[in-house]
Amino acid sequence: MATIAEFSIPATEFALRETLERRPNMVFEVDRVVANATDSVVPYVTATQGEFEGLTSLLETDETVEEVELLADTEEECLYRMEWTQEARIVGYMVVEQGATVENATAKNGQWYLRVLFPERKGLQAVDEYARESGYSLNLTQIYGIDAREQARFELTDEQRDALVMAVENGYYQVPRDVSQEDLADELDISHQALSERLRRATENMAKNALRIEEDATAD
């Protein structure tokens, strides 16, 4: 089963350590990672929230950076294409050896934070073993399946998700409906009123999170 894992790694053990030491307020976020081999990691990195003057020169002297190219810069951010040295090989191992996808990688406050999608859970176990053998202080902070991630994203309770799944699978949202609320309530062994409330709250939560509507937002 596909698994999402979230890690933290001290910047002192990973990429851009010297730059982060000299620019502690800077935030680096990886937009995309290309890895042709375990020891060859080429990320596209956006730098924000710090002093941009002299940043390119600083990156060029960073021992964890093999190559760096400034692709775009504005007053608010700089976009770089980089090639990282051996210090970042754990990312190459994830991508090349385990077929993982780095969904997000952000450096701030002396730490790197990674969210990685593994096609199979055994890939996560292999990375944990690789980290210990390679001397990384890899801290696994969270692990969950894709379904759980979507449930968390829309702030659904287990009961709300179960009600929605049953409603969709039984054609409740079809036009015309294939099943009534009363029948769904009987299947879930709850009252019609309880089911109606679960579906209403679940739909409201999904709409708010999909549209990013704040709780205190008011209509025009």
DSSP assignments along 167-199, one per residue: HHHTTTTSSS-SS-HHHHHHHHTS-HHHHHHHH
Task: State what percent of residues in the chain have pLDDT above 90.
Answer: 48
- Output phi, psi for 38, to 5 deg: -55, -40
Q: What residue type is 214 in one-letter code?
A: E
Statement: residue 2 has pLDDT above 50? yes
Helices 181-188 and 158-169 cross at an angle (nearest 10°) of: 130
The answer to whether residues 120 and 167 belong to one domain is no
The answer to whether residues 124 and 182 belong to one domain is no
Number of domains in the chain: 2
In this prediction, residue 78 carries a pLDDT of: 95
Round to whole Å and give the CA distance between 73 and 179.
56
Mean pLDDT computed over 163-181: 82
Q: Does 220 reside within a domain?
A: no
The answer to whether residues 70 and 158 belong to one domain is no
> Which secondary structure element, helix H or strand E, spans residue 131, and what is its range?
helix 121-134
In this prediction, residue 217 carries a pLDDT of: 45
The answer to whether residues 16 and 45 belong to one domain is yes
> HEC states along 23-49?
CCCCEEEEEEEEEEECCEEEEEEEEEC
Q: Does 189 reside within a domain?
A: yes
Comparing 17-26, 37-46, 203-212, the range with the smallest average pLDDT is 203-212
Q: Does 216 reside within a domain?
A: no
Segment 91-129, tens digit of pLDDT: 999 999 998 989 889 999 999 999 999 988 899 999 999
Task: State what percent of residues in the chain have pLDDT above 70.
Answer: 91
Mean pLDDT computed over 131-159: 81
Round to whole Å and give the CA distance between 128 and 194.
44
Segment 35-93, tens digit of pLDDT: 877 778 899 999 999 889 999 999 999 999 999 999 999 989 999 999 998 888 999 99
Statement: residue 144 has pLDDT above 90? no
pLDDT classification of 220: cutoffs 50, 70, 90: very low
The answer to whether residues 51 and 137 belong to one domain is yes
The answer to whether residues 74 and 158 belong to one domain is no
pLDDT classification of 219: cutoffs 50, 70, 90: very low
Q: Does 217 reside within a domain?
A: no
For 144, the token pair is 């969950």
Range of the domain at 105: 3-146
187-190 CB contacts, 8 Å cutoff, 24+ apart: 188/162, 188/163
Q: What residue type is 194 in one-letter code?
A: A
The answer to whether residues 32 and 109 belong to one domain is yes
pLDDT classification of 148: cutoffs 50, 70, 90: low
**Does pTM surpass 0.75?**
no
